[in-house]
Structure 1
Amino acid sequence: MPGAARFMLMTVVVFQTLPGAQRSRAGSRPDARPEHPPVEARNEAGCISCHAEVVSRRVMHGPAAAGQCATCHVVGSAAGRRRIVLKGGASSRDTAALCVTCHQEIRDRLEQKHRHAPVAAGNCTACHDPHGSPFRFQLPAEGNRACTTCHEDIAQALAQDHVHAPAAASCQICHDPHGASSPAQLRTAGNAVCLACHVDVPVDASVVEGGFMFGRRPAEGIERLIATGPRILLDGSLVSGHPTIAHPVDARPDPSARGRTLGCASCHNPHGSAGAKLLRFGAKGVSSLCIKCHSF
């Protein structure tokens, strides 16, 4: 084969393997799906005659339960064919702008500094089925299993011998599932989320009020958890006093994690651990934990 022809052939082969070329060819393929049948205005009964599975779930999205498909869907077109699409140009992987037109109570959380990854991507349907599911809030599983489906490290912690009672009850007690101003979507910053349940302090010390932190509709059983949680005694500044007098619990560098501030989670796993008192590092007792930082 002449050199020029061989060069041209190699150029074509290389171009066809480039990601952009692959996308270009994929984008040029005709949509093989059949055209959607004509839709009469506001004829939701016509939708259900084909999509009966959408209205047969135990927990239904309000518009789907009422047969109001047009709340979220409109008739559109793609490649010259009739299609049923989401309002406002939303896609199945970016629905947040459409969802908050009704769910305005979560709008502010979608703008928080620390957001759940699907929320940050606008992908509400990663956690909520837009039509319905067998579980509350149209989640893909009941309770914490909706979270641990993705957060496998937390699933492992919750399988340990000793599990934090709120973590076993509901992830939402400590974390906002959409977004918050604090890292890890904690409902308040630093140790305060722990101290709301676990601290006994002088009456003049300022502590986050549990009822305020957990919102107007706190998770079921939160009052019992607050009342029965083990207590620690700190000084009035709330930065020292546990596990011994003058031992710091805040406002110091964490010797076990460079770049982090010392806190409750420096010594305790807030989800679960093999040792009692939720001790970290596989420690089965206080002494074996202390030597992680205090070597002699």
Structure 2
Amino acid sequence: MLKRVVLVISVVALLMVTTAQAAIDFIYPAQNSSVTTSGHLIFKLNQNDITSLRITLNGVAGESVDVGMPEYRKLFQDFFIAQSLWDQGANKVVVDLFKGGQKVESASLSVFFVPEGSSQKVPPEYSPVVMHRPESERLCQSCHNMNPTPAQMNSSIEKENPCYACHKKLLSVKYVHGPAGTYSCGYCHASKGNPKHSVAKREAALCYECHADMAVQIKKKKYVHGPIEAGMCEACHEAHGSQNEFQLKKPINELCLSCHGHIANQKHVVMTTTGEGHPLSGRKDPLRAGSGKQMSCISCHAPHGGSVRYFFFNNVEDRMALCQACHNK
């Protein structure tokens, strides 16, 4: 009889352990996910009496954060949102929870960060991050409209567009893509999809729906730049916007040299009287004198393609004629 009682107690204790709610629900990024940008770290506290927490990233501990104040709870309820600054590669986040200064529990999260454009491979145990998962949306829906209508997704009024509250940081750049700047999220993102709010089409298939004139121009070109030929608009351009003109991922020369790196390590085009090659930057662009723009790769080369090899400016076929566009003496 005693053995049976002990067995029952053991089973009940085991069930209590296995069904106990985790101290933290990590919302974004999810456990064992891969990310390409440093966005946010979002999680939900499942214990109402937690007074403070401390986040340690890759062994470096941050300061204690008071989450027990009534003011904090009124604003954020049981949620915690922080700006994340991931190290490239594997990242381990440890969240320590405290009650009245006493550590009571810890939770950990593994994230793999590979910046956009990097050739680093993501290990197979990590999956691409997806925010709009059903389990995440259930936690967010108490404050956020997780099922907006197409009209709401395209509303140019900030308070009426549910995307704006969380994604407004995408617009805090110098050059913003037109649809993003007017909160016309539904132009590219579908309210239905798998994953939810994903883009039904990618790259040129989507871009040419608005930029049809560009598609026509490119079809007429005899020589087309490789990424354009492959329909890879996002190889060079950010979809929502960037700090660089034309919404480029990097400044012009830095972007070009990320593929054509050999150009930076040799004398370009000719050797001048100083023994140097033709300058790639550092001088005003003589062909755009009134603009005040600096010389760059696109001073001589059209970025999408042209009717002559090397996509020379204004489709100039003779190299000397190209030189004389600036050196007309």
TM-score by length of 2: 0.47
Return the offset for 1:263. Answer: 0.4
The aligned residue for residue 289 of structure 1 is 322
State the distance in 2 between where 1:91 and 1:138 align. Answer: 13
Percent identical across equivalent pairs?
27
CA distance in 1, matches of 2:326, 2:150: 58
Task: Say which of 129, 138, 159 aligns to 2:190.
Answer: 129
Give the CA RMSD over aligned residues: 3.4
What residue number does 1:56 align with? none
Paired residues for 1:59-208 under 5 Å: 71-73=146-148, 90=152, 92-94=154-156, 98-99=162-163, 107-132=168-193, 137-139=198-200, 141=201, 143-159=203-219, 160-169=221-230, 170-200=232-262
More helix by share: 1
1:250 maps to: 281
The whole-number CA distance in structure 1 between the counterparts of 2:287 and 2:237 is 24
Q: Structure 1: give runs of 5+ residues left out of the alignment.
A: 1-60, 74-83, 201-231, 236-240
Higher strand share: 2
The answer to whether the Cα contact below 8 Å between 1:167 and 1:270 also exists between their aligned partners in 2 is no
In 1: Cα distance, 2:189 partner to 2:153 partner? 15
Counterpart AA for 1:143: E
In the alignment, what sits opposite 1:27? none
Structure 2 residue runs of 5 or longer lacking an equivalent are 1-130
Take 1:165 and 1:142, find their aligned partners in 2: how far apart are those partners? 17
Aligned-residue offset at 1:268: 0.7
When structure 1 is superposed on structure 2, of 278-287 and 172-181 the one drifting more is: 278-287
Residue deviations 1:178-234 (CA, integer Å, cap 9, x gap)? 11111111111131000111122xxxxxxxxxxxxxxxxxxxxxxxxxxxxxxx244
Structure-2 residue corresponding to 1:203: none
Pairwise CA distance, 1:71: 2.5
1:274 maps to 2:320 = no
For residue 150 of structure 1, what is the amino acid of its counterpart?
A: C
Task: Answer whether contact 2:257 2:264 (CA < 8 A) is retained.
Answer: no
Q: What SS class does the counterpart of residue 197 from structure 1 fall into?
A: coil
8 Å contact from structure 1 (residues 275, 283) kept in 2? yes
Secondary structure of 1:281 counterpart: helix
**TM-score after normalising by structure 1:** 0.52
Structure 1 pair 191/63, CA: closer, same or farther in 2 (3 Å)?
Answer: same
Q: CA deviation at 1:91?
A: 5.7
Q: Distance in 2 between matches of 1:128 and 1:244?
A: 48
Give the letter for the 1:99 counterpart.
C
Question: Could you tell me how far 1:242 is from its partner in structure 2?
Answer: 2.0
**1:95 and 1:124 in contact (8 A); partners too:** no
Read off the aligned partner of 2:270 and give its amino acid letter.
T
* Residue type of the alignment partner of 1:194: C
Question: For 1:283 and 1:184, how far apart are their aligned partners in 2?
Answer: 24
Amino acid at match of 1:149: E
Structure 1 SS opposite 2:285: coil
The residue type equivalent to 2:183 in the other structure is: G
Q: How far, CA to CA, are the matches of 1:111 and 1:250 in structure 2?
A: 27
> How many residues get paired?
180
Cα distance change of structure 1 residues 113 and 161 upon mapping to structure 2, 3 Å threshold: same
Q: Is the 8 A contact 1:250 1:263 kept in 2?
A: yes
